[in-house]
Amino acid sequence: MSPNPDILLVSKPIVPPWNDSGKNLVRDLAAHAGHYQYRVLATPGTTPPGPNAIAEPLYSNAGRFAPAVANQLAVVRRLLMGKRAPLTHFFFAPNPLTSTVMRLLKPALMGSATVHTVTSRPKSYDGVKWLLFADKVVVLSKHTASMFRNAGVEDIIVIPPSVPITPRIEPERKSAILSTLNLPEDKPLVLFAGDYSFGTAHHRMLQALPRILADTDCHMVFAVRTKTEESRGQEESIKQTVSAAGWDNRVSFHNEIDDMEALAAAVTLNVLPADTLYAKMDFPLVLLESMREEVPVVVSDHGPLPELVEGGGGMVAPLETSGALEERVCELLQSPDKRLEMGKLARQTVLQRFHPKVMAMAYELLYDELLGAGDKR
């Protein structure tokens, strides 16, 4: 039976590079279609992400992390003048401008059910109720759902994101990325792939370094995209501190990495002591990629992060507990058996909760409800 009806997925361009968790979510949903056909917004010549997907060449280029004005206008034209789908599904963080535009366009979508997946938390939850316009609103974590409910939004659905489930990354590929980045293969590697622009996670990592480097023989890897002048300045400040302490041969810095997935698999631990997830997905992609490859994670107790390790695939280092971060990291680096056990639980968590088929099935059940198709399936 051919998939029916169409679902229009409105998002950033669904094209490589796959370094944006928001568009990866859309790609994985369309790639694991069950009984619907998906229309994704892409660039000319794009290969659809799955056999039951159609790539509409709406955008002129892949763009950067923030959508360009021309791309936003292209979306508006598509919604006003393009083929109408029985259901339109939006993927973006609530913000006044975009939400206002969507409210104004809502009459043009009459006859089309709407879903809005909140791909990252809003800047503030104050007044967030008025930024929501869709028939159904989906968030990615229990924590974000509770924040929305506290802000007066009752009808919230939780559908966790996914990470592609592929064969385990082969040792040759892991060795290749370590060689490319000039990282040691004979030392434990601790990865920090947070953010320099928002929050203080990078400072917390730096403060924990003296004990971690003194008590273990690990090598620390800062792999952070420097998107702004401010973030480049933060990185330079950390580099200077590291150099002054004589740690140059035990701490490495990298920005854009061609095969981040392989690095996330090659490290010993993946650490994110975040105090904000603004502009990030509730469950950062790099953490899910490590967990899928049986790499334990150490996260803070901020927001939804503890939900990642509810199945035992890592540890929580409370932000307000002095020394907690370095204690957790050192404990795992010094306990190979514990790391091995946690790694297996980490992969099990991903397979059970963050599998693309699990996510796609949850969305299609929601579509069935909105389109009154549940009794026909």
Q: What b/e readout covers 213-225, taking b as 16+ CB neighbours within 10 angstroms?
A: beebebbbbbbbb
Whether residue 287 lies inside any domain: the answer is: yes
How would you class 376 by CB atoms within 10 Å of its CB: exposed for 0-12, middle for 13-18, buried for 19 or more? exposed
pLDDT at 68: 64
Report pLDDT digits (tens) over 126-183: 999 999 999 999 999 999 999 999 999 999 999 999 999 989 999 999 999 999 999 9
Same domain, 137 and 16: yes
Same domain, 50 and 107: yes
pTM of the predicted model, to two decimals?
Answer: 0.93
Q: Are 338 and 9 in contact (CB under 8 A)?
A: no
Same domain, 157 and 202: no
pLDDT at 104: 86
Assigned token pair, 234: 């933060």
Whether residue 149 lies inside any domain: the answer is: yes
Whether residue 1 lies inside any domain: the answer is: no
Q: Quick check: helix, strand or coil at residue 140?
A: coil
Same domain, 313 and 278: yes
H-type alpha helices, 32-95: 69-81
Distance from C-alpha of 252 to C-alpha of 316, rounded to nearest angstrom: 24
Same domain, 211 and 345: yes
Q: Quick check: helix, strand or coil at residue 251?
A: strand
Task: Indicate which CATH number applies to the domain containing 262.
Answer: 3.40.50.2000
Whether residue 93 lies inside any domain: the answer is: yes
Assigned token pair, 86: 């029985």
Q: Quick check: helix, strand or coil at residue 42?
A: coil
pLDDT at 31: 97
pLDDT at 375: 52
Q: Are 104 and 78 in contact (CB under 8 A)?
A: no
Same domain, 130 and 185: no
Same domain, 224 and 323: yes
H-type alpha helices, the chain: 21-31, 69-81, 96-105, 142-150, 171-180, 201-215, 229-244, 260-266, 285-292, 305-308, 324-333, 336-353, 356-371
Same domain, 60 and 27: yes
Q: Are 299 and 306 in contact (CB under 8 A)?
A: yes
Q: Are 263 and 181 in contact (CB under 8 A)?
A: yes
Instruction: Determine the structural domain holding residue 316 and report its residue range.
Output: 171-353
Same domain, 154 and 284: no
Distance from C-alpha of 16 to C-alpha of 31, rounded to nearest angstrom: 14
Same domain, 320 and 192: yes
Whether residue 312 lies inside any domain: the answer is: yes
Which residues are CB-contacts of 293 (< 8 A; sequence separation ≥ 6)? 168, 169, 264, 265, 347
Same domain, 195 and 133: no
Q: Which residues of the chain have pLDDT under 70?
A: 1-4, 64-69, 374-377
Q: How crowded is residue 351: how many other Cβ atoms within 10 Å of its Cβ?
A: 13
pLDDT at 294: 98
Q: Are 4 and 37 in contact (CB under 8 A)?
A: yes
Assigned token pair, 26: 């859309």
Give the chain's domain count.
2
Q: What b/e readout covers 95-134, taking b as 16+ CB neighbours within 10 angstroms?
A: eeebbeebeebeeebeebbbbbbbbbbbeebeebeebbbb
Same domain, 207 and 136: no
